[in-house]
Amino acid sequence: MRLRPALYILDAVMRLKQISGLLVVGSVLGLSACSSVVTEGSSAAAGVAGTALAGKVTNNAAVATGIGLGVQAAARAGVQYEQRQVHGEAQDAIAKAAGGLAVGAVANWQIRHSLPIEDNERGRVTVSRVIASQGMSCKEIVFSVDGLVDKASKPTSEFYVATICQAGPAWKWASAEPATERWGALQ
């Protein structure tokens, strides 16, 4: 029995989703700790896979190009989503370490990422000032990135300024601008 064109395209799209998901996971696990390689590698692999699949779906070059670009965009979006999750984990670790500190106190922080697309890092954090008004409780913090977790190396500290605010019982990252240099556009 031959599938109608609409069902054939729907089947192809479902296969593309499965392939792009596998490409993202494979790229993340195979190329851990180098986010630019992960991003570009998964994008290129998705483009190749999309082109191969498109060749089986249609002989129309415009449709094949659209399928290939769609798969590539889905793979890139998947990797960027995972990078945002990893950056959020690091921000939460820093905010948690700083949340209970008084002005001038210093604490250590470290992060062991659940997905190994970036290095596990460690550093110090201090509160430079408290910003509180009418039920809002925030702190300006200065944090350092001193090196990699489990690596005995001479620390080379890099310092950043950020703002955290209390959200219920937890402290959460509240600034975008200071994080741009450290994490790029993917906060």
pTM over 0.85: no
Q: What is the reported pLDDT for 135?
A: 85
Q: What is the reported pLDDT for 13?
A: 54
Cβ proximity of 135 and 107 under 8 Å? no
Supply the DSSP string of 14-40, one letter for each residue. Answer: HHHHHHHHHHHHHHHHHTTT-HHHHHH
The domain limits of the chain are 5-86, 87-183
User: d(Cα 64, Cα 71) in Å, to the nearest integer?
Assistant: 11
pLDDT tens-digit series, residues 143-162 = 999 877 666 666 678 899 99
Supply the DSSP string of 87-108, one letter for each residue. Answer: HHHHHHHHHHHHHTPPBT-EEE
Q: What is the reported pLDDT for 33?
A: 45
pLDDT tens-digit series, residues 41-77 = 555 565 566 656 666 677 777 777 787 788 888 888 8
What's the per-residue H, E or C state across 162-180? Answer: EEEEEECCEEEECCCHHHH
pLDDT tens-digit series, residues 3-33 = 455 555 556 555 655 555 554 445 444 444 4
Label residue 138 by pLDDT band (50, 70, 90): very high
